[in-house]
Copies of this chain bind each other. A is one copy, B any other.
């Protein structure tokens, strides 16, 4: 496993790669969800590149950029075991020099869901992914379905800007009790951890109601809200049933919809989703 600590070093290593390159951009503090993406990247390409970069521009000033969990030694051990070929660990000032001034923005679908709660978040995500894609020049880039809107936004950017790569979205990896794996789960107290599977239970409830013929999105969202509210520590940010293309809320479920939710459980804010239809 080779390690690049600067953009220049990464571009140099990339220039020596032969065959297709699979790329997994991460913010580190890796869990099984990331490692599944790395396995898939390795299976489908000659070279698997993973970046570890806690991207400051996708955090708002009041968010947890400084507190975001970091453990580089553990990450490198995990990536080596997973068969990673190149790890790219750029510094903040290499990625964003003092006079940095260019931004990539997807409008429309970034106004809803996460974008409504975190209005500057996706501009940070699309900007850093543009940079990483230009540096790593992957044939395929891998993202998890857990951050469903992020995956849709990246796909939209890649299509609109005619970028030369394929975006692969892999299924959410869950703990045995259904909790979606996330680096932020480490913030949960033991008690919060016990009640955290309620997010996935609410999504399963939506799936069950829909399977039994219910197409009224309001009714389903009300049932989900009721279930999550049974956990006293849970603070619902949003529960959404939205068109998979536009991410606008639907009243009547007809085509494919994204059922998603964001819930603050004590300190961390957890997100999860499923697709119906």
The digit string for A126-138, where 1 denotes a CB below 8 A from any CB of B, is 1100110011010
Chain B residue numbers with a CB within 8 Å of A164 are: 11, 134, 137
The digit string for A164-186, where 1 denotes a CB below 8 A from any CB of B, is 10000000000000000000000
Q: Say which residue of B102, B106, B135 sits within 8 Å of A101 (CB atoms).
A: B106
Number of identical protomers: 2
Given A131-B162, A161-B134, A102–B156 Cβ distance below 8 Å?
yes
Chain B residue numbers with a CB within 8 Å of A108 are: 99, 101
Is A161 a contact partner of B109 (Cβ separation < 8 A)?
no
The A91-132 residues at the B interface (CB cut-off 8 A) are 99-109, 126-127, 130-131
Q: In the complex, which range does the number of interface residues on chain A fall in? A: 20 to 34
Is A160 a contact partner of B100 (Cβ separation < 8 A)?
yes
Can you give 14 A-B contacts (C-beta < 8 A)? A7-B162, A100-B160, A102-B104, A102-B107, A102-B157, A102-B160, A103-B107, A127-B161, A130-B161, A134-B161, A134-B162, A134-B163, A135-B162, A137-B164
**Partner-B contacts on A (CB < 8 A):** 7, 11, 99-109, 126-127, 130-131, 134-135, 137, 156-157, 160-164
